[in-house]
Amino acid sequence: MSIEMDVTAKRNTKVTTNKSALQYGLFDNIIGYDDIKKLFFLSFESQRPIHILLVGPPASAKTLFMLGCMKLERSYFTLGTHSTKSGMLDYLFEKRPRYLIIDEIEHMSIRDQTVLLSLMETGIIAETKHMKTRNTQVKTWVFATTNETNHMLTPLLSRFLVLHFKQYKFENFLDISIHMLGQEGIAKDIANEVATQVWHNMRSKDIRDCIKIAHLAKTKDDVIWIVETLLRYNKTSNTSEKKQ
Ligand SMILES: Nc1ncnc2c1ncn2[C@@H]1O[C@H](COP(=O)(O)OP(=O)(O)OP(=O)(O)O)[C@@H](O)[C@H]1O
Ligand SMILES: [Mg+2]
């Protein structure tokens, strides 16, 4: 796995790239992924747009990267579910964003994805509406995320630098949970218990489960009780057991 999980090592890692981009601290809240951060910084510095697509399982920090990119000047954020061809074109014509950030691009309709083909290849955007045609050229970097690439046009995929995030291993999961929950003032032993219970007993690899449980629990016993209760009421548990 490419993710570098040592938090202290992260602070010491030198990324030889544009200082101003680093100074933004765009991705400081993301643990690990130093190599991915470096690739983003290289893309920001590139003379010509280099588009990046993050593909990965739930809760693997894809949206965190998009939120980081939103801190860049002249960036425009949209959700694949909400973007419409005309809405996005209007925005591109009017605001000429330097960075177009599309979270969950897999939900974008094929029609809307086609707008991106020309934008990403040549920067040209064109529209014919009410017998009138307008076109222009913009210099726009596209950063996007998706859980899977099945619903994406092949030529669109080929315009991206595609990075597949892998599922965390337990050590990564534990490190991230402890670090993240620690930032919220949750003690290390409780965070440790939460991550261990979630991974081993709930068999979940979703860090969001740790956050939910940690917010409910005050002690390690609370953690164990909450996990037992959730297991009793999970999808596969026997309903007759619940009534006891
Ligand atoms: N490497 C990480 N560093 C810091 N927090 C992380 C990391 N990985 C996961 N998290 C935690 O998991 C939560 C979910 O992350 P995020 O929303 O970026 O996931 P995602 O990959 O976009 O998932 P989805 O596919 O479900 O949209 C974050 O709010 C954060 O609390
Ligand atoms: Mg997301």
Domain boundaries, the chain: 7-164, 170-243
User: pTM for this structure?
Assistant: 0.86
> What is d(CA 177, CA 196) in angstroms, rounded to the nearest whole number?
10
Judge if the beta carbon of residue 138 lies within 6 A of ligand 1. Answer: no
Please tell me the chain's helix, strand, coil percentages from 3-state DSSP, rounded to the nearest 5.
Answer: 50, 15, 35
Atom index in ligand 1 nearest the CA of residue 147 equals: 25
Q: What is the pLDDT along the chain (244 residues), one digit of tens a residue?
A: 444 443 333 333 434 445 555 556 899 999 999 999 999 999 999 999 999 999 999 999 999 999 999 999 999 998 887 766 667 888 889 989 999 999 999 998 887 888 899 999 999 988 887 778 889 999 999 999 999 999 899 999 999 999 999 999 999 999 999 999 999 999 999 999 999 999 999 999 999 999 999 999 999 999 999 999 999 998 876 554 444 4
Q: What is 7-164's CATH topology?
A: Rossmann fold (3.40.50)
**Distance between Cα 16 and ligand 1 center (Å):** 26
Residue nearest to atom 20 of ligand 1 (CA): 59
Instruction: Judge whether 45 and 18 are in contact, CB under 8 Å.
Output: yes
DSSP, collapsed to helix, strand or coil, labels residue 217 as coil
Quick one: which of 166, 183, 173, 163 has its CA closest to 66? 163
Ligand 1 atom, smallest distance to 211 CA: 31
CA of 135 to the centre of ligand 2 (A): 32
Residue whose Cα lies nearest atom 10 of ligand 1: it is: 61
Q: Is the CB of 55 under 6 A from ligand 1?
A: no
Task: Pick the atom of ligand 1 nearest to 168's CA.
Answer: 8
